[in-house]
């Protein structure tokens, strides 16, 4: 088991976050061609919202979510947790219990390059989640390893800790 745990990134300035929430991702797409996640990663609740925040990154392998449970304590208001599932699209790393814990930190959203589960509970807790859909098979505490606050791949795009993340109804 190997873990890499790095310091939390500096928060994105509130002024930049405010500007980013005033623009649609499709408008950004008229200017930029890179930095967008795969179109399959969508808001699981179908919310017509635009959010922006500071990227906090996590990479966890296959069926193991040990590190996810550990790092929730470090999430801050305004953060967006970006979870690289390292190619796993079978195991849901986020469900109702984890969503409740994340909401309690003030973290504004989660983006997962993989599935989630317990959508009614996620909706009940009011946590905006972008993922590759849902799955009934969940992760467990296996203590395999993972990385926190390192560059990750989300939907084919590199996300660095501290990047500004903009997410809306288009992706």
CB atoms within 10 A of CB 105: 15
Q: Which residue in the block uniquely carries the two structure tokens 């392998």?
A: 61
Residue 74 near residue 165, CB atoms below 8 Å: no
Whether the model clears a pTM of 0.95, i.e. scores above it, the answer is yes
Per-residue model confidence as pLDDT tens for the chain (171 residues): 799 999 999 999 999 999 999 999 999 999 999 999 999 999 999 999 999 999 999 999 999 999 999 999 999 999 999 999 999 999 999 999 999 999 999 999 999 999 999 999 999 999 999 999 999 999 999 999 999 999 999 999 999 999 999 999 999
Residue 12 has what DSSP assignment?
A: P
Residue 142: Cβ within 10 Å count = 13
Structure tokens of 147? 């990385």
């Amino acid at each position: 088991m190997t873990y890499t745990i790095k310091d939390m990134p500096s928060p994105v300035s509130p002024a930049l976050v405010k500007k980013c929430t005033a623009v649609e991702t499709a408008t950004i797409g008229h200017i930029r061609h890179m930095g967008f996640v795969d179109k399959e990663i969508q808001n699981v609740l179908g919310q017509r919202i635009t959010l922006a925040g500071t990227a906090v990154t996590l990479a966890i392998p296959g069926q193991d979510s040990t590190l996810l449970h550990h790092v929730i304590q470090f999430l801050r208001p305004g953060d967006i947790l970006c979870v690289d599932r390292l190619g796993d699209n079978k195991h849901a790393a986020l469900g109702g219990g984890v969503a409740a814990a994340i909401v309690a930190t003030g973290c504004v959203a989660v983006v997962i390059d993989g599935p989630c589960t317990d959508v009614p509970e996620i909706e009940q807790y009011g946590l905006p989640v972008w993922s590759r859909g849902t799955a009934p098979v969940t992760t467990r505490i296996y203590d395999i390893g993972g990385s926190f606050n390192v560059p990750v791949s989300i939907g084919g795009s590199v996300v660095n800790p501290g990047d500004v993340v903009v997410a809306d109804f288009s992706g």
